[in-house]
Each structure stands twice: as structure tokens, then as C-alpha cells.
Amino acid sequence: MKTFCGRANPTTGAMEWLEEDENYDYHQEIARSRYADMLHDKDRNMKYYQGIRAAVSRVKDRGEKAIVLDIGTGTGLLSMMAASAGADFCYAIEVFKPMANAAVKIVEKNGFCDKIKVINKHSTEVTVGPDGDMQCRANILVTELFDTELIGEGALPTYEHAHKYLVQEGCEAVPHRATVYVQLVESKRMWSWNKLFPVRVEAEDGEKIVVSPSEMENCPGVPSVCDIQLNQMPSSDFTILSDVVTMFSVDFSKPVRSASTYYRVQLEPVKSGKAQIVLSWWDIDMDPSGTINCTMAPYWVKSTSAFQWRDHWMQCVYFLPNEEPVLQGEKVYLTACRDEYSVWYKLQKVREDSNADVCVESPVCRCQAHLLWNRPRFGELNDQNRTRQYIKSLMNVLRTDSVCLCISDGSLLPVLAHYLGAKQVFTLENSAVSRSVMEKFFKANHLEDKIKIVEARPESLTSSHLEDNKISVLVGEPFFTTSLLPWHNLYFWYARTAVSKHLASNVTVLPQSASLHMMIVEFQDLWRIRSPCGICEGFDVRTMDDMIKSSLDFRESKEAEPHPLWEYPCKSLSDPLEVLIFDFRETVPQHCLSTEGSVNLLRKGKSHGAVLWMEYNLTADISVSTGLMQISNEKGNCEWNPHCKQAVYFFSSVIESETLADLPSAVTYAINFDTKTGDIAMDFKLL
């Protein structure tokens, strides 16, 4: 059997469906899963174990048999905890077949076959009775169905069903309850991920200001949560406007309702400012008294010095529909609305009518910009330093008779080119959404008759699209919405090649070239997501390690994966190195571009992997980096471009976790850019 997988093709800038071996999807699922990260989460595992022991004891103290239902068992870890705590029997439910098979092996390897039954079904399909999957209802409900937003993985409907059909009334639950906390803040940085700020352009004929359409100004955005490692957000990047308050909590030992609802709290601002953002996180009490607590609270809230890093549960950033001025001491109402899977917020001034019915409809983006640009892209478009580099470069290359063509998805470059004096500007928009957004944009700035949008693929561009002009300046950021890895934006080079016949012989291409850079790093924590676990809380989970390893090895060449490194601290062990150059002044060559060499390690540390990123040389002396901004001190701490994901290639020595007695002194690399596919293959060896 074959399966079809969606994948961005860097040579066409389009999503394509590729036929893959039937195992491909499952291997991707396992290889990129967060199982390793959860198994490395010592705090979570320890607290679950304590909570399970306590629940089994409470049931036994009542003289009852302890029958456990574990929904979403994964490796079977929580069921094994229950069995070793003295539970009489455990039903472990896992819907993902490869995972259920692994759980069966792990349970067997740890000697719990007679106590644990793994059921490969969705919990809503499990039957109870003499001939059912479960002999009887359980009296202890154990689950780990939570994501950063708590309810995004369907915890509420799952609990609702379990209470109706699978567990006894008054059962014990681990965790016993979850509580969601919120804090109101003002943050220009975070607000810049959701709204477009005015762009100032110093032109020959005075300052021009690029504004966004009112429809975009007033758009609530998309309802999907923005989950980040809030612990990497410096306190200088936000202003706290309220104390932390409890928004709502869910008691998992009682019937749970998943139907849409809302919660409201009164807040008294501790400072005047613009309320823009609701920061949110949760904690879980593993026992009724709340003595066994596992919290996601960020650094400025949590008093304990022992800090648990985790990537499977982070913190949430919610954008209010509009920024609201608040005054210190003047009370406001914050409302959280939720459906089965997501939460959104609104803020109201305290008024008489504030008890009127709250509309619990999920916010919808009507301006389309939030569908075209993701949050990091909004941040990038709002980055004034970056915009200045493009303005400076355009001023260098534009003439009064310049005919300019822009190739990038939903870019402000056409507006900049017009204001900086180009005679004519065309922009190529590949999709109906980007065309629609750009039309609104040009209209809001009275440029609809000044900039021509061409909705065509580069290869189908005709002279009539360009009104029989030859292009003298070809520009791109480059940015394309289908790009996942840094080099996918090299689609600009393929597009430039496709439009060659429309370019003047002395065309200026901006950027004139791009270069691929790399550096060897040691991660503070990110390595855990690819590191084997071995023994977890006394249970042997090496079957899971082997499964992840074989999935990572499923592809002949290992692949780099995208990560926003501003959220994942690392230190450089080598100098950054330019490894490949792509000259946009020429067309894409027929032959592959490849390079090999070695890079010396200058600092002591564990070589967890290589980070790769692109730099675009806009002109001979102006460039922008999508990766390393600077190495900030002699320890090698790195600052990364916060709007882009960098490519991380984990070395297998991390995954096999060899204890390196002699630290390697250098790393050899071989990197090959296949011009036919637009893909980069790489190989590294530690010397």
C-alpha cells in the first residue's frame, strides 16, 4: 500500500502530493513525536507516580479492588506505575497502532503482562461487560491527554465519555484537577505577531507611511493558540498589567462537560497601560488535597529554583481582539470562552450590562492576512531594522526609469519600491489569498493604480502581464508561505530563472545572492527531544528508543528539522561558516552544488548538532540573516533571528548518547544542493 504525503517543492514553491511507502507517515509521526521529551520530563513522571500511588492506596483503604483505566497510554508508563503501586488490573488504551504495539512489548518486557491489557482503540469505542474490552468499569482514571492549551488534544470530550461509560461514579482521577491561570500584559513584541504596524519610508519627496487596511486593524485574527517557551521571553519585552488570577479549573474525578461555555473574572490592573495580550498556563494537582502539583508557570511566577524544561507543555499567548487602555485600580472583566478544543479571550470595562449574554463564537479572521502570514511573519514584517536594510538597498539600485518586478508572497517590497521612485512596479502573487490581501493593502494606501498585481506562476508570465516592459530590477525578500526549511526560499532562484526572458540584459537582482551558513552547537535542553530515555522511573522503555531510532533512520539520509532557536538556548562550539553560495544574478545551474570540509571546535561542550541558516546579500555590502544575529559572549551564547526557524541537524551521537571521553576536535561535513529537487542533503562526522 502507498500513502500520499504533502510536501513543499522548493523548485516550484508549491505544495505537492508525493507517493510514499505506507510506513513513511508513521515513521514521520514517531521520529518527530514528543515521546522522548515526555519521558525525559522527570517532574511530570515523578508527580504522576506519586499521584497514582496515592490513588491506589485510597481505593485499597476502602477495601475495594483497584481497577485502572489509562487513556492515551503511549508507552504504557502510567499503567506500569499503577501495576507496581498495587493496582489489581489496568486497561491501557492507545489509538495509534504502532504505539499500542510498542506498549505491548514494553509491558511484557517489564513483567506486567498479567496486570495490564493494552487496547488499540479510541476510548469512545471501548466496550464494557463480560464480552467487552473491559470486564467492568474502572474506579481509577489515569490520563495524560493535555497539550499546552490543556484542552487542544480533546481531553474534555474524552473525559466526558469516560465518565458516562467507562468509569464508576466517584472514581479517583490522576490528575485530580487542572487549573488555568491568566495574566494581562502589554507587549509591543508579542502584539507585533498579530497586527501590522505602520511602516515609515523616507523618500525623496518626504516621509511616506504605509498603513494597514482598517479591516486588518479590526480583525480578531485566528483562534489557534500561540504556544511558546515563555521562559525565553525577557521581562523587558512585556509589562505586567495584572496579578496572576485563576481563570477556571476542571475536576477530573467528576463528570466533565465539553460543551462550549465561558468563564469570567474581575481584574484590577496593577499598572496603567494597553491591554493587548493574555498570557496563560496551567497546573495539575495529582491528588484531591493539591499537595502533588505539577505547574507550567513561567519564571517570574514560579518561586522554586528547580526548573523543569519541557517542550510538550509550554505557555500560551492569546491576543485580545483589540488593544484596550486600562487604568491602574479601575476594574475590568476578562472573559474566557471555550469550545471543545480551544480557548479565546475578551476584555470589557466594568459596566452595568456586563452580565449580558457572552457571545461564545470562535473568532474568525476576515481580513485574510492572518491566513496568509503566520505570527513570526507578522513579526518579520514589523521588524524596522530589517525593513531599513531593504529600503537602503532599494535606494542604491532604483532609478527613475526602473521597471520593478517583485517575487515573494505577500510582501511590502512593491510598496517600498514605488515610494522610492521606481517608474513601474509589478508584483507576482501566487495565490488568491495573497492577491486579495495585497489588493486591500494597496487600496488602503491609494496605490491600487500604481502597483500591478499579476496572479500567475513565474513560468506562465507573459509580456502582456508586464505591459510589454522588460524588467530592470527584480526583487524578493525572498519569502514564500510554503517554505519550511531556510533553503526552501531559494524558490526565488527558480522563479528568477523562469522569468529570465522578461529581464533586461543589465537587470539588477536584489538580493544578488544567498549563502548557506552553519555552526556546530551544544543545546541547553533541545537535545532531549532526540535523546534516548533508557530507564524511566525504574521502567525499561528502550523499546520506544529503538522505535524512534529506526524511524529516524527510515530515510537513507537524515534530515534537518526546523526549530525557532530564540526559544531554545544553545552555545556555539565552532565559528559560523559559509558553506554554499547561490548567485541569483545567474540562472539555476544544471549541475548540483556541493561542498565538503571540516570545521574546528573552539569550545569544550557536547556537539549536539549543526545549525544551518541562510543569509541574503541584498547588495554588495548589505545583507540580512535568517539565523545567527550574534555570538553574545565568550561562552558562545547565541542570539538568533526571532522571526525565522533555523534548520537543526542532530548528530546521531546525541541520539545514541555515547559518553565521549575525548571530546571531538573537529567536525567534517559534506553538503549537496540538488538543483533538480531544490533539496539539500548533508552528512557530518565527529573527529
CA gap 380, 31 in Å, rounded? 30
Q: How far apart are CA 335 and CA 324, in angstroms?
A: 14
Query: Which tens digits make up the pLDDT trace of 89-146?
Result: 999 999 999 999 999 999 999 999 999 999 999 999 999 999 999 999 999 999 999 9
Mean pLDDT of 544-570: 84
Residue 346's DSSP bridge partners are: 335
Place of cell 505547574: 295
Which of 416, 386, 376 minimizes the C-alpha distance to 624?
386
Q: In the structure grid, which three cell numbers stand for residue 91, read together?
A: 486497561
- Return the HEC string of 509-527: EECCEEEEEEEEEEECCHH
pLDDT tens-digit readout, 557-568: 478 999 999 999
Instruction: Please count the other Cβ atoms lying within 10 Å of the Cβ belonging to residue 272.
Output: 14
Q: Which of 144, 380, 522, 561 is catalytic?
A: 144
Q: What's the angle, vertex CA 659, arms to CA 653 and CA 663, rounded to 5?
A: 80
Q: What is the pTM of this model?
A: 0.95
Cell numbers standing for residue 166 = 467507562
CA distance 367 to 187: 23
Convert the pLDDT of each residue in 207-248 to its tens digit. 999 999 999 999 989 888 899 999 999 999 999 999 999 999
Strand partners, 595: 671
pLDDT of residue 552: 76
Q: In what order do the strands lie in the sheet with 116-119?
A: 116-119, 89-93, 67-71, 138-143, 167-174
Exposed, middle or buried, 604 (CB in 10 Å: 0-12/13-18/19+)?
Answer: exposed
Contact 407, 471 (CB under 8 A): no
Burial of 321 (0-12, 13-18, 19+ CB in 10 A): middle
State the Cα–Cα distance between residues 67 and 474, nearest whole angstrom.
69
Q: Is the omega angle on the peptide bond into residue 175 within 30 degrees of 0, that is, cis?
A: yes
Read out DSSP for 349-416? E--GGGGSPPP-PPP--SSSHHHHS-HHHHHHHT-HHHHHHHHHHHHHH--TT-EEEEESSS-SHHHH
Q: Which pLDDT value is given to residue 103?
A: 97
DSSP secondary structure of 224-243: S-EEE-GGGS-GGG-EE-S-
For residue 324, which phi and psi values (nearest 5 degrees)? -120, 125
Contact (CB, 8 A) for 489 and 483 = yes
Q: Is the dihedral of CA 257, 258, 262, 268 positive or negative?
A: positive
Tens digits of residue pLDDT in 335-390: 999 999 999 999 998 765 555 556 667 889 999 999 999 999 999 999 999 999 99
Q: Which amino acid is at 83?
A: A
The H or E element containing residue 31 is helix 23-31
Does 294 score more than 70 pLDDT? Answer: yes
What pLDDT was estimated at residue 452?
97
**Which residues are paired to 138 by β-bridges?**
167
Rounded to an integer, what distance in angstroms lies between the CA atom of residue 273 and that of residue 286? Answer: 37
3-state helix, strand, coil in the chain (%, to 5): 25, 35, 40
The yes-or-no verdict on residue 657 having pLDDT over 50 is no
pLDDT per residue as tens digits for the range 143-174: 999 999 999 999 999 999 999 999 999 999 99
Residue 97 CA to residue 127 CA, distance in Å, equals 18
Mean per-residue pLDDT of the chain: 93
- Determine which one of 19, 29, 64, 153 is catalytic: 153
Look at residues 104, 99, 97, 119 and name the one whose alpha carbon lies nearest to residue 166.
119
Looking at per-residue pLDDT, the higher value among 3 and 626 belongs to 626
Is 596 an active-site residue? no
CA distance linking residue 73 with residue 80, whole number of Å: 10
Residue 388 sits at φ, ψ, to 5 deg, of: -60, -40
Out of 301-305, 424-428, 500-504, 579-583, least confident range: 301-305
Tell me the CA distances in angstroms from 98 to 34, 141, 364, 533, one per residue in order. 15, 23, 36, 18
Half-sphere exposure of 565 (CA within 13 A, CB side): 32
pLDDT greater than 90 at residue 516: yes
pLDDT at 515: 98
Asked whether residue 494 carries a pLDDT value surpassing 90, the answer given is yes
Residues 6+ away with beta carbon under 8 Å from 374 = none
- pLDDT over 50 at 577, yes or no: yes
More confident call, 298 vs 662: 298
The radius of gyration computed from the CA coordinates of the chain, to the nearest angstrom, equals 28
Q: Is 455 a catalytic residue?
A: no
Question: With contact defined as beta carbons under 8 Å apart, do 25 and 36 qualify?
Answer: no
At 134, the amino acid letter reads: M
**Cα(513)–Cα(322) distance, rounded to whole angstroms?**
40
Among the listed ranges 10-24, 69-83, 580-594, which one has the minimum average pLDDT value? 10-24
**Average of per-residue pLDDT across 291-296:** 96
Residue 6 has phi, psi (to 5 degrees) of -75, 140
Question: From CA 159, how far away is CA 177, in angstroms rounded?
Answer: 12
Comparing C-alpha atoms, which of 301, 329, 304, 336 is closest to residue 315? 301
Per-residue pLDDT of 593-628, as tens digits, reads 999 999 999 999 999 999 999 999 999 999 999 999
Q: What is the pLDDT of residue 658?
A: 45
Q: What is the DSSP string of 584-619?
A: TTSPPPSS-EEEEEEEE--S-S---EEEEEEEEEEE
Q: What is the DSSP string of 143-183?
A: E----TTSSTTSHHHHHHHHHHHTEEEEEEEES-EEEEEEE
Split at pLDDT 50, 70, 90, the class of 1 is low
Length of the chain: 687
pLDDT band at 305 (very low <50, low <70, confident <90, very high): low
Phi-psi region of 446 (alpha: psi -120 to 50; beta: other; left: phi over 0): left
pLDDT in tens, 409-463: 999 999 999 999 999 999 999 889 999 999 999 999 999 999 999 999 999 999 9
Chain mean position to CA 285: 27
* CA 566/CA 611 separation, integer angstroms: 13
- What is the average pLDDT across 284-311? 90
